[in-house]
Amino acid sequence: MLVVQRVVTRWSKAGRGAAAATLRGSLPDRVPLPACTGEAVFHDVVASPWSERLRELTLPATVAGLRVEPGGRVSRAGVFASYPRNRRQVPLFTLAPGGRARYRANFRFSGHSLEWYYEQWTVTLALDAPLDGELDFDVDDRVRLYP
Mean pLDDT over 91-111 rounds to 90
In a domain, 145, yes or no: no
**6 DSSP β-pair partners:** 44, 123
In a domain, 146, yes or no: no
Number of structural domains found in the chain: 1
In a domain, 73, yes or no: yes
In this prediction the pTM is 0.80
Specify the pLDDT at position 135: 95
User: Does residue 140 register a pLDDT over 80?
Assistant: yes
Instruction: Report how far apart, in Å, the C-alpha atoms of 7 and of each of 28, 71, 147 are.
Output: 8, 24, 25
- In percent, how much of the chain has pLDDT > 70? 79
49 vs 41: CA distance, rounded Å: 22
**138 DSSP β-pair partners:** 102
| Residue range 54-100, pLDDT digits in tens | 888 889 998 888 999 988 999 998 887 777 776 778 899 999 999 99
Q: Can you give the residue range of the structural domain that contains 135?
A: 2-140
6 vs 8: CA distance, rounded Å: 6
User: Does residue 49 register a pLDDT over 80?
Assistant: no
Lowest mean pLDDT among 15-24, 114-123, 125-134: 15-24
pLDDT band at 113 (very low <50, low <70, confident <90, very high): low
| Residue range 14-28, pLDDT digits in tens | 666 666 666 666 666
In a domain, 147, yes or no: no
